[in-house]
Structure 1
Amino acid sequence: MSSAGKGARRIVIRRSRKAHPVHHGGAWKIALADLMTALMALFLVMWIVSTASPQQLHGLAEYFRTPLAVALSKGDRESASTSVIPGGGADPAHVDGERARVDLRSQRLPDDTRRTFMDLRFRIESVIQGDPELWEMRDQVRFELIPDGLRIQLLETDQRTMFQLGSDTLVPEMQRLIRALAPLLNQLPNAVSISGHTDSLSYAAGDSGYSNWELSADRANASRRELMAGGLQSDKVLRVTGMGERVPIPGSHPGDPVNRRISLLVLSEEAADRIRAGGRTEPLQALQER
């Protein structure tokens, strides 16, 4: 081999290979479709909420707050729920939610009677929820099942009064609320007992003159007249009493506004019969358990 052949350079030709795209599948398309569907649903809900009335918004909020078991039982919230109208518990002034409390004594009511009373409560709540003016007073209404029936308490608060100071004259808002209850009470054959209560603030003359005894009785009677004006059948009222300041709300200070209240008791047949017979409104055993 010649020397010229030995010194010749080797020529190397490099050719690039064409890269073929790797197929990754269509999973990303499914994820994108899910995202767009969720966004569309979100904007649709936001549009509906922006065009809804206050009453519809309250109904929507209650729908998402009410457990399925409660909805199926038409509002029986004794065991578990958050009601639009707080109820139960020892302190009716508590408005941050319902305090769960099982009143064992209420189990003495027959099941059909309990269902009847809870249905009445549900209808009252529905009326309050559907009226913007009554909705503003929802924190002033309390429900409680007791051995004698369904107790509906109408309370004063620091922000809202029921009566003019030292008077049996109802404020217009409370007149509207009491009259709204009358047609619902007429739907049941049960009799009604009305009692008035005051706080511990007494008159200058004490009990020797016009006192909290007379004031509470006058307020109970004023509430009876408003129920009559709302259409309540007069024969349904079995008793009207004034309790003065002697029965404050359990756990409250005697001077608290919640003690200025009207208590409407929808009586069970047994309790009504005891009152007509001149007996106690509760069995002696129930009184001893308190």
Structure 2
Amino acid sequence: MSQAAPDRIVIRRKKVQAHGHHGGAWKIAYADYMTAMMAFFLVMWLLSLIPRENLPGIAEYFRMPLMTAITGGPQMDNSRTVIPGGSPSVIPNKSPVPQRKSMSSEDAEDDRRDVQRLEDLKTDLEALIESNPVLRQFRPQLLLDMTPDGLRIQIVDEQNRPMFATGRAQVQPYMRDILRELGPMLNKLPNAITISGHTDALQYASGEREYSNWELSADRSNAARKELVAGGMNEQKVKRVLGLSSSVSLIKDNPNAAVNRRISLLVLNRRAERRIDAQDAVGESLANLKSVMEDSATPTPAHVDGNNAGVAPAEVPPAVVKP
């Protein structure tokens, strides 16, 4: 009898798969929780700064129905700020930033009349240029325009008709005639003026270290001031005399062009005068503060003791008086 085949033994091994790392989801949830807690404590801190009498108003704001906030209503906040209820803020500020005062109706009307007077002066100057034979021949060199700071009168150079001697502040005769004709016209208004000198971008051989276009433009603007005063302009009208070199060119693409050499007279409006006066007042305050600090830092002279009792004081040289 044949031998029976042995039974086949099948061994099944269960494959165990490693679970993935579970380190991401709880971190996101925890970060959201911490953010919410930080926002909560920030709100609580802000509420602690608000005076108790203002808390009902804030509570009333949060009780506002959604439709009232969308469509408007008697409880709607109409402040200009983008933050609801932020004009003015109910949170006290220990170091408030000074807000710009709104212009009153009287100041606005005064500024409007001032601009109108400058427009009238521009019209009178244009009529004078057309009627005056001295100014009419230089009409292409006279530019008049209104700026945010006032009426600007620019006397520009021409290649064949320069206003000053080359590289110097010596006024040419026809430039002297133009300035002396304009001088009396500037007395029509009480407005102050500024005088600015401009040059082209051509440099001196010595460069910027010695006499340069900065000094030249300043000297030319001061020479123009003298001619205006000689023509009859009140010298107290001059607010500033500036030398701007080639920093402000009429033709940006050609800084060496002749028209970039010019004298600019700006008849200031009231607003520009107030701004300049405020700037000067700040500078004067800083100068006074610096002077006080320097005086306080100056050491006091030592007291004379018994050892110096018989020593004569040193001679003080006499003060030098400028001629």
Alignment pair present for 1:138 and 2:139: yes
CA distance in 1, matches of 2:137, 2:222: 25
CA distance in 2, matches of 1:224, 1:258: 20
Query: Which residue identity does 2:143 align to in structure 1?
Result: R
> What's the counterpart of residue 199 of structure 1?
200
After superposition, what is the alpha-carbon deviation per residue over 1:260-280, rounded to whole angstroms, capped at 9, x for unaligned?
A: 000100001121122122269
- Report the Cα offset of residue 131 of structure 1: 2.1
Structure 2 SS opposite 1:240: strand
> What's the counterpart of residue 147 of structure 1?
148
Unaligned 5+ runs, structure 2: 1-109, 282-323
The TM-score normalised by the length of structure 2 is: 0.51
CA distance in 2, matches of 1:241, 1:206: 20
CA distance in 1, matches of 2:251, 2:167: 23
Structure 2 SS opposite 1:277: helix
Query: Which residue identity does 2:223 align to in structure 1?
Result: A
Larger Rg: 2
Counterpart mapping for 1:1-290 below 5 A:
110-278=111-279
Q: Percent identity?
A: 46
Query: Which residue identity does 1:211 align to in structure 2?
Result: S
Query: Which residue identity does 2:164 align to in structure 1?
Result: F
CA distance in 1, matches of 2:196, 2:274: 18
CA distance in 2, matches of 1:184, 1:252: 34
CA distance in 2, matches of 1:189, 1:203: 39
After superposition, what is the alpha-carbon deviation per residue over 1:5-36, rounded to whole angstroms, capped at 9, x for unaligned?
A: xxxxxxxxxxxxxxxxxxxxxxxxxxxxxxxx
After superposition, what is the alpha-carbon deviation per residue over 1:182-219, rounded to whole angstroms, capped at 9, x for unaligned?
A: 11110101000001000001101110000000000000
CA distance in 2, matches of 1:165, 1:246: 19
Query: Which residue identity does 2:237 align to in structure 1?
Result: K
After superposition, what is the alpha-carbon deviation per residue over 1:29-58, rounded to whole angstroms, capped at 9, x for unaligned?
A: xxxxxxxxxxxxxxxxxxxxxxxxxxxxxx
- Report the Cα offset of residue 133 of structure 1: 2.6
> What's the counterpart of residue 78 of structure 1?
none
- Report the Cα offset of residue 179 of structure 1: 0.8
> What's the counterpart of residue 303 of structure 2?
none
CA distance in 1, matches of 2:273, 2:115: 16
Query: Which residue identity does 1:199 align to in structure 2?
Result: D
Instruction: Please tell me whether the aligned partners of residues 251 and 257 of structure 2 are also in contact (alpha carbons under 8 angstroms).
Output: no
Query: Which residue identity does 1:134 align to in structure 2?
Result: L
CA 1:197–1:234 in 2, change beyond 3 Å: closer, same or farther? same
Instruction: Please tell me whether the aligned partners of residues 115 and 269 of structure 2 are also in contact (alpha carbons under 8 angstroms).
Output: no
Q: What is the CA RMSD across the aligned residues, in angstroms?
A: 2.1
Structure 2 SS opposite 1:263: strand
Unaligned 5+ runs, structure 1: 1-108, 281-290
Moved over 4 A (4+): none
- Report the Cα offset of residue 134 of structure 1: 1.6
CA 1:147–1:278 in 2, change beyond 3 Å: closer, same or farther? same
- Report the Cα offset of residue 117 of structure 1: 1.3
- Report the Cα offset of residue 157 of structure 1: 1.4
CA distance in 2, matches of 1:110, 1:228: 27
CA distance in 2, matches of 1:219, 1:187: 25
> What's the counterpart of residue 19 of structure 1?
none
CA distance in 1, matches of 2:265, 2:253: 20
Query: Which residue identity does 1:177 align to in structure 2?
Result: I
CA 1:173–1:252 in 2, change beyond 3 Å: closer, same or farther? farther
- Report the Cα offset of residue 132 of structure 1: 2.0
CA distance in 1, matches of 2:159, 2:243: 22
After superposition, what is the alpha-carbon deviation per residue over 1:102-142, rounded to whole angstroms, capped at 9, x for unaligned?
A: xxxxxxx9432332112111111222211223211001111
The TM-score normalised by the length of structure 1 is: 0.57
CA distance in 1, matches of 2:147, 2:263: 16
